[in-house]
Chains A and B, each alone.
Chain A
Amino acid sequence: MRRGAERIFWGTTALCAVGACAVGAGILIATVVRGADALSWDFLVRASSSAGAEGGIVFQLAGTLILIATALAVAVPVAVGLALAVSVYLGERGAARLRLALYLWNGVPSVLFGLFGLIVLVRWAGWGKSWLAGGLVLGLMILPTLTVSLAERIDAVPRRYVEAARGLGLTRSRVVTSVLLPQSVGGLVSGALLGLARAAGETAPILFTAAVFSGATLPDGVRESPVLALPYHIFVLAQDSLEPGAATRLWAAAFVLIALVFGLGLLSLPLRLRVHEEARDGGGL
């Protein structure tokens, strides 16, 4: 390649990279600037009124936290089981099949999880819109994220740890509970944080299963006990509310949602970076 062409080529790629980052910065800045006026402590601790044009988002926030906490409670035990199956209990072929299944699972569009929840939980089980239905559906959705993150770490536990444990006469289940799981809990935590970040921002799965726009506070019981949720709130307001009061609050709500999602993502970052270090240490594992 000639020198001029070389310059143009790399200049173009640099432009692409800068452009990709600029889009991100633009999104963040647009949201912060527009939402700043409405953003205050009051906004976080007051209930919304006048269809989102006044008040705050406390119950939307509470609803979202309830949903993701439920999702976590559902997903963690199953993810531990699946990760142990992938890394310890299944044979090579079975493990490969399970990996493929998890990859496909991760690709399933979120709206189909919602449809599944609508059929099985909302209609068949007769729960109606319920926080539990939403939490279960979100838990199903984030299951692959947790599982793969944990399984990667179990696979990276240095071989000598397990050999030492076996040398001490520990049974297989003791090796799993005393060596493999404690050594890889970071993978579960980072996977959980990533999964929660995704669950917190998803609208499609809770559209039919859990979320309403108004008229709910904290749920009591399971049947017909929907919650308000931050992404659903934004979704509804984005469709039809363009009066100024609602618009500012809309952006502020979007900012809170982004902050929540980024917060969870950033928390997981140190843990994820450490994985790479350890994997390098464990080299020949």
Chain B
Amino acid sequence: MSLPAAAARPAWLFAGRRRLDPIRVASLAACALAAAFLAGLVGLLAVQSLPAWRHEGVAGFLAGGRWFFRARTFGALPMIYGTVAVSAVALVLAVPVGLGAALFASEVLPPRARLALKTVIELLAGVPSVVYGLLGVLLLRDWMYRLLSPFDPLSGDTLLTAGVLLAVMILPTVTTFSEDALRGVAGAQRRAARGLGLTRGTTALRVVLPQALPGLAAAALLALGRALGETIAVFLVIGRRDNQLPESWLSAEPLIKTTQAGQTLTTKLGGSETFLAWGDPLHWAAIAGLGLVLLALVGAVTLVGALLVRKGAGHAARS
């Protein structure tokens, strides 16, 4: 879903007339409802997670490396590391391929073929994540096991497997929104560049790409938001082993650790512990805390993306 720029609205027709209008009341009620839900979601997670923040301290919860609910130790860092590692793998793989495909679609393909390609890719974006997960379980897991055999893995369920699967899942998002951003650059710019004798490739790289940069960044951020929040597919191939942290951050260790099983914020939330935790206020608070951390991560990424889209739209409008 794109963030539509504020287009011409029929609202001007009604300026200055403020009579009682049942539809207007209903419409504003819907707004109140929406605001209540958003505030409720954030508020609920914040309030319910309070005991965990008090118990561990903010830094203790965020940077704690151990999660043992029977010992009442709740550190979220292994899950945060898992989420970041998995999403980083996905972005590193999906962004170059998606950008390449978007360049091809936007700069080379004729309109009809471009529409066909976009239709196929948008359909792909609609494939349910559980189906990706199934393919991960029955195909990708074995491939990864064979690929990683030099590292002597315990199984094919690793952070890397989850990252590769996520890359496939976010590829349509990266491609289609990057293509939108590239198409947003005015054709006159391309014609002017070609008229100056630049080749197609140079035009694309030196003229189109720089102007589309905010939109391209927004596409990557949107995809990152998806990757951070994806639950089901990752759940099936990540191994869900708790308390997996690299021993040192300033080495190859964080990279090597991706060839082992782990846990992300979402797979922890999607697991049976969420059901188990309800009876125990502190345990539940820790689960709600994971939800809050996830919401904050995704919210920040999405917000930056939205601001970039707006900036990009303003840019396109000026040129």
**A interface list, Cβ under 8 A from B:** 1, 5-6, 9-10, 12-17, 19-21, 23-24, 27, 30-31, 77-78, 80-82, 84-85, 87-92, 95-96, 98-112, 114-116, 118-120, 123, 140, 143-145, 148, 151-152, 154-157, 159, 162-163, 166, 171-173, 175-177, 180, 197-198, 200-204, 207-208, 231, 234-235, 238-239, 247, 250-251, 254, 257-258, 261-262, 265-266, 269, 285
How many angstroms between the C-alpha atoms of A114 and B14 in the bound complex?
40
Bound-state Cα–Cα, A256 to B104, Å: 33
CA gap between A154 and B4 in the complex, in Å: 13
CB <8 Å contact, A14 and B108: yes
Residue of B nearest to A87 (CB): B9
Given A109-B266, A120-B44, A144-B1, 12 other A-B contacts at CB below 8 A?
A: A6-B201, A16-B100, A21-B120, A81-B31, A82-B31, A96-B6, A109-B231, A148-B4, A251-B134, A254-B134, A262-B126, A265-B123
The answer to whether B104 touches A109 (Cβ under 8 A) is: no
Which chain B residues lie closer than 8 Å to A81 at the CB level? 26-31, 33
Q: Provided the pairs A82-B34, A116-B44 are in contact, do residues A99 and B124 lie with their beta carbons within 8 angstroms?
A: no
CB pair B6–A234 under 8 Å, yes or no, is no
User: What chain B residues lie within 8 Å of A235 (beta carbons)?
Assistant: 130, 133, 232, 236
B149–chain A nearest beta-carbon distance, Å: 21
B85 contacts A by Cβ under 8 Å: no
B206 (CB) vs chain A CBs: closest residue = A1
| Nearest CB on A from B241, distance (A) | 15
Out of B103, B171, B232, name the residue touching A204 (CB < 8 Å): B232
In the complex, chain A residues whose CB is within 8 Å of the CB of B202: 1
Shortest Cβ distance from residue A52 to the other chain B in the assembled complex, whole angstroms: 13
**Central interface residue in A16, A87, A152, A258, by most chain B CB within 10 Å:** A16
Q: Complex: how many Å from CA A123 to CA B276?
A: 13
Asked whether A99 lies within 8 Å of B13 as measured between CB atoms, the reply is no
- B200, A10: Cβ atoms under 8 Å? yes
8 closest pairs, A vs B, by CB? Answer: A109-B229, A201-B128, A81-B30, A16-B100, A107-B302, A13-B104, A17-B101, A16-B101
- Set A9, A16, A89, A112: member contacting B41, Cβ < 8 A: A112
A20 to B1, CA, bound (A): 20
A20 in contact with B97 (CB, 8 Å)? yes
Bound-complex Cα distance A91 to B98 (A): 38
Stretch at the interface among B15-23, B51-59, B186-194, B253-261: B15-23
Please give, as numbers and ranges, the residues of chain B lying within 8 Å of A110 by CB-CB distance.
229, 231
Band of interface residues on B: 35 or more
Alpha-carbon separation in the docked complex, A238 to B127 (Å): 16
Q: Can you name 7 A-B pairs with beta carbons within 8 Å?
A: A10-B200, A118-B274, A172-B21, A202-B128, A258-B131, A265-B126, A285-B8
Q: Report the separation of the CA atoms of residues A19 and B105 in the bound assembly, to the nearest whole angstrom.
A: 13
Taking a contact as CB atoms under 8 Å apart, the answer to whether B124 and A23 are in contact is yes
In contact, A14 and B104 (Cβ under 8 angstroms): yes
Of B61-69, B70-78, B243-251, B293-301, the one with at least 4 CB within 8 A of chain A: B293-301
Q: Using Cβ atoms and an 8 Å threshold, which residues of chain A touch B155?
A: none
Whether A107 lies near B225 (C-beta < 8 A) is yes
Q: Which of B117-154 contact A (CB under 8 A)?
A: 117, 119-124, 126-135, 137-139
Also in contact, A162 and B13, with CB within 8 A (given A115-B269, A203-B129): yes
Given contacts A1-B199, A103-B3, are A20 and B172 in contact (CB under 8 A)?
yes
Does residue B175 face the partner (Cβ distance < 8 Å to A)?
yes
Known interface pairs A111-B231, A261-B126; A84-B120 also in contact (CB < 8 Å): no
